[in-house]
Structure 1
Amino acid sequence: MNIKTFILLVFLCTTAFSCKNKGEDTAVRTEDLKAKQLFQGIWVDSDEENVVFKVKGDTIYYPDSLSQPIKFAIYGDTLELKSANDSKYAILKQSAHIFEFKNSNGDIVKLIKGEDPSFELQFANKKPTSVNQNKTIKSDTILFCNNERYHSYIQVNPTTYKVFKTSYNDDGLEIESVYFDNTIHLGIFKQETK
């Protein structure tokens, strides 16, 4: 086999493999828009009739002020929540007024669409809040140990560094809360020594 034939063979093999991989990478999932439309509204736990969440557009809103809204998509029989840790939930049953899915623990969660207008009040004028004390905390203490004097100084300063914490609510859905980080300064002095 001469060099030209070898180069042509390598080129053809490379082209064939790249075309095969390219076709696999470009496979695009299509979102189930009908299922997404059925999912719109306020959903209530079927047993206790507690509001679980509200769906508007492509976002899920939770009734508590610490949980951040989360983007979602429905592909086939799967509800996908888009967050720091994307999570997927198998949809078992969906209609205009019933939504059943399997949560991360494997439990079946049964929701019904909330028709009571008062449910909307749980979401009125609520913006997600971030947990932060918004003030500097200082502690200055002097203590004696073995006839030696110690001075401790602690200062906690709030920052604007956001920390996202992922947890699960009572229904086994992933939620994200936002906290602000703090910087802490701790100093301990022994008489004139640091």
Structure 2
Amino acid sequence: MMKYVVLSLMVIFSASCGGNKNPNFLELEEEDIAAKELLQGIWLDDETESPLMRVEGDTIYYADSQSAPITFKVMRDTLYTYGNDTAYYKIDKQAEHIFWFHSITDNIIKLHKSEDPNDSLSFVRREVVIPTYTEVTKRDSVVTYNGTRYRAYVYINPTKIRVVKTTYSEDGISMDNVYYDNVMHICVYEGKKSLFASDVTKQMFAQVIPADFLSQAILSDTKFVKVDRNGFHYQAVLAIPESSVYSIAEIEVGFDGKLTITSTK
């Protein structure tokens, strides 16, 4: 059984504002095209005068440069956003220059439309992604078993593989933040003879890590643990970015070169 350290599962995995409505039910709803047209443009927070979101077509761009754009619809008096999760927000007031809605935390978000072209600068898309590692990291473990000397390597390789994690702003707005995953390269040598060499990716843990967790996690670390009669043992850490939530899985490389992944006991 996997060991989890969980401090904020409610934030990460909870459904938005009362749960998601039945997708089949939503498909039967007629989209309010007039309300969508009213939303086009840049919207500022009434209290701070700071840009919050830019609406273009059927897409919302948030001023937080780490957040991915999300699609939306307006049906009846509700704004629906479609990212990792489907979130919905009750609309309180909407006009050409006014947009008020209830957030997930039941705060009333009051916005007004920008008339300053310079506010568009808040939505210049930048690749702001927080990686666990910024360069290849090498770990070399020298071990002896039954009188034979081995070298067990781990290379942690940063990638451009995007992982999207649902987060919530202080005001209770659902956003999708983007992070980069890692690929681990494990190799074992007996002298100059290679016993094993292979990349290890997050997808290889699908049989031992729940899918909902895995989709928002990154393969953050892998460490050599020991060698015994069964082979070479490693621990892989799969973590939800910027949280204290993680899962540990075991990797075993046999002397026959076979790799096995199991959950921790």
Question: How far has the Cα of 1:55 moved from its partner?
Answer: 0.2
Contact 1:73 1:79 in 2 (8 A): yes
Identity of aligned residues (%): 38
Instruction: Name the structure 1 match of 2:223.
Output: 186
Q: CA deviation at 1:32?
A: 0.4
1:1-194 maps to which residues of 2 (within 5 A)? 28-124=28-124, 126-132=125-131, 133-139=133-139, 155-182=155-182, 183=184, 184-188=221-225
Number of aligned residue pairs: give it: 159
CA drift of 1:137 comes to 1.9
CA shift, 1:68, in A, is: 0.2
Q: Pick closer, same or farther for the CA change 1:25–1:44 going to 2, 3 Å.
A: closer
Any conservation in 1 of the 2:141–2:224 contact (CA below 8 Å)?
Answer: no
**Alignment RMSD, CA only?**
2.7
Equivalent residue letter for 1:100: W
**2:105·2:171 contact (CA, 8 Å) conserved in 1?**
no
SS in 1 for 2:48: coil
Write the letter of the residue equivalent to 2:178: V
Residues 52-81 of structure 1: per-residue CA shift (max 9 Å, x gap) = 010000000012321000000000100000
Instruction: Decide whether the 8 Å contact of 1:68 with 1:128 is kept in 2.
Output: no
Could you state the TM-score of these two structures normalised by the residue count of structure 2? 0.53
Distance 1:108 1:155, change over 3 A: same
Aligned AA (2:181) = D
DSSP 3-state at the match of 2:63: coil
Q: Give the secondary structure class of the aligned counterpart of 1:52.
A: strand
Contact 2:84/2:165, CA 8 A, preserved across alignment: no
Which one has the largest radius of gyration? 1
Bigger drift between 98-107 and 169-178 goes to: 169-178
SS state of the match for residue 180, structure 1?
strand
Q: Which amino acid aligns with 1:30?
A: E
TM-score (normalised: structure 1) = 0.71
Amino acid in the other structure paired with 2:59: T
Q: What CA distance in whole angstroms lies between the structure 1 residues aligned with 2:77 and 2:224?
A: 56
Q: Could you say which structure has the higher helix fraction? A: 1
Rounded to whole Å, the distance in 2 between the matches of 1:109 and 1:136 is 43
Cα distance, 1:54–1:27 mapped onto 2, change above 3 Å: closer
2:81, 2:26 → 1: CA distance? 22
User: Structure 2: how far apart are the matches of 1:25 and 1:40?
Assistant: 26
Q: Which runs of 5+ in 1 are unaligned?
A: 1-23, 143-150
5+ residue gaps, structure 2, are 1-23, 143-150, 185-220, 233-265
Aligned residue for 1:55, secondary structure, equals strand
